[in-house]
Amino acid sequence: MKTTTNHSIVTTSEWLAARKELLAEEKGLTRQMDAVSAKRRALPWVKIEKDYQFDSRRGRVSLAELFAGRSQLVIQHFMLGPGWGEGCPSCSYMADHTDGMLPHLAARDVTMMAISRAPLAEIEAFKKRIGWAFEWVSSNGSDFNHDFRVSFTEKEVESGKVDYNYTRQPFGSTEAPGISVFHQATDGLIYHTYSVYGRGVELMMGTYRILDLTPKGRDEDNLERSMEWVRYHDSYDTGSTKRGCQSKEAKA
């Protein structure tokens, strides 16, 4: 029997049989994810040679100081360029999940924060409007964003292709999303251990994990850009036309 949505309607026993069949695949995927995570942790590291400096509420701080006494640092490369006024809605969607994670990450020796190329005053203004508590610093004036391939010059964008997500590809913005991970050894040396870009940043988006459980899923198939439905969390009921600003590449 079909419903008006053309979905199968079955007995409880039939549903249970189908659910157990899917469960076997889900368990296989979980084991595969565990294996990939082990390979991720086994990746070689790169020693950080530059003295990166950032503007923070505490003043000028080094990369080492961002660890806040812990040995592991996770950074959201937040798309907020100089003069933008507002952060990327898709990056904001990511960041909406951060504050609740902080105490749990701290308990596992992890500091998590955001870095953008916009001046600190512009970061602070947007952060206050949205109401986040996590630390967010400015890399303005340093090579940090460019070195980690999340900021590009206008000339690079106009050339038609930039180095993003480990490949040369078209990209329509001077800023891009990403997540980078660093480790500080007991001797004070800092190492870059991992970075992920494109759809890889979905690992921060717990909302997507819940939507994936629902009958309609993410409901993005008919959108020009997968995240164009995303709004700032204070704008869903205000008729805001701001849309997610990820590239079409992220839909693949």
Q: Identify the H or E element spanning 208.
A: helix 206-211
Mean pLDDT confidence for 167-173: 95
Mean pLDDT confidence for 7-26: 96
Query: For residue 242, what pLDDT is reported?
Result: 53
Interstrand relation of 59-62 and 53-56 (parallel, antiparallel or unpaired): antiparallel
Residues 70 and 33: their CA atoms lie apart, in Å, by 26
Query: For residue 226, what pLDDT is reported?
Result: 84
Question: Tens digit of pLDDT for each residue in 98-124?
Answer: 999 999 999 999 999 999 999 999 999
Handedness of CA 52, 53, 56, 61 (dihedral sign): positive
By CB neighbour count within 10 A (0-12 exposed, 13-18 middle, 19+ buried), where does 88 fall?
buried
What does the H/E/C string look like for 53-79?
A: EEEECCEEEEHHHHCCCCCEEEEEECC
What does the H/E/C string look like for 127-173?
A: HHHHCCCCCEEECCCCCHHHHCCCECCHHHHHCCCEEECCEEECCCC
Is it the case that residue 187 has pLDDT exceeding 80? Answer: yes
Report residue 186 as tokens: 């007991």
Sequence length of the chain is: 252
What residue spans define the domains of the chain? 10-42, 47-204
Confirm if 177 and 197 have CB atoms less than 8 A apart.
yes
More confident residue, 238 or 168: 168
Mean pLDDT confidence for 48-58: 97
Question: Tens digit of pLDDT for each residue in 191-228?
Answer: 999 999 999 999 999 999 999 999 999 888 888 888 88
Residues 18 and 12: their CA atoms lie apart, in Å, by 10
Is it the case that residue 236 has pLDDT exceeding 80? Answer: yes
By CB neighbour count within 10 A (0-12 exposed, 13-18 middle, 19+ buried), where does 48 fall?
middle
Query: For residue 144, what pLDDT is reported?
Result: 98
| pLDDT bracket for residue 252 (50, 70, 90) | very low
More confident residue, 247 or 23: 23
- Domain 47-204 matching CATH 3.40.50.300: the answer reads no
Beta carbons within 10 angstroms of residue 106's beta carbon: 14
Query: For residue 3, what pLDDT is reported?
Result: 47
Measured in whole angstroms, the distance separating CA 241 from the mean position of its chain's CA atoms is: 22
Residues 120 and 139: their CA atoms lie apart, in Å, by 9
| pLDDT bracket for residue 1 (50, 70, 90) | very low
54-67: b (≥16 Cβ within 10 Å) or e: bbbeeeebebeebb
Residues 177 and 134: their CA atoms lie apart, in Å, by 17
